């Protein structure tokens, strides 16, 4: 069901829970079929699953707000921008009309923060959520 499916690319951290709930509530209210990647087995290719979920979803939400170095971690996390790039690349390079109909929402914590680490997406309308699940 491509036309009413949504792929959600967001962190599963405790600090993100309220925002995720707001996204899930809105998607359910709109009667969209939710698609979120979940690890199943060590033998499964996670990126293959993610690409398949993107291909079969008309809508995608990519939240880039948790891509930096966490206080408890040694390295930065870049899965979210990487997966956004795959989704944009799929739309830009495919010849399939149905994929050209895809729509993407990109979230970030602060307006223009993305310019510091992924400036190539300038020109896209980035929505700043300010870590507030009560967006207008």
DSSP states of 58-100: SEEEEE-TT-SB-TT-SSB--HHHHHHHHHHHHHHH---HHHH
Check residue 43 and give its pLDDT.
67
Check residue 127 and give its pLDDT.
74
Average pLDDT value for residue range 108-120: 73
Distance between CA atoms of residues 11 and 109, nearest Å: 12
Average pLDDT value for residue range 25-33: 96
**First-residue to last-residue Cα distance in the chain:** 29
Helix, coil or strand: residue 18: helix
Tokens of 71: 């206080």
% of the chain surpassing 70 pLDDT: 86
pTM of this structure: 0.80
Distance between CA atoms of residues 98 and 75, nearest Å: 37
Helix, coil or strand: residue 115: helix
Q: Does domain 2-128 have CATH number 3.40.50.450?
A: yes
Of 4-13, 41-50, 52-61, which one has max mean pLDDT? 52-61
Name the residue ranges covered by the structural domains of the chain: 2-128
pLDDT at 85 over 90: yes
């Amino acid at each position: 069901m491509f036309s009413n499916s949504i792929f959600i690319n967001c962190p599963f951290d405790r600090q993100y829970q309220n925002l995720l709930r707001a996204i899930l509530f809105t998607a359910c209210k709109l009667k969209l079929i939710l698609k979120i990647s979940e690890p199943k087995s060590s033998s499964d290719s996670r990126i293959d699953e993610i690409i398949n979920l993107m291909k079969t979803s008309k809508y995608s939400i990519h939240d880039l707000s948790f891509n930096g170095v966490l206080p408890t971690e040694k390295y930065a996390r870049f899965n979210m921008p990487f997966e956004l790039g795959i989704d944009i690349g799929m739309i830009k390079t495919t010849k399939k009309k149905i994929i050209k109909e895809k729509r993407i929402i990109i979230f970030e914590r602060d307006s223009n923060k993305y310019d510091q680490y992924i400036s190539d997406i300038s020109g896209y309308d980035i929505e700043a959520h300010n870590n507030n699940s009560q967006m207008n």
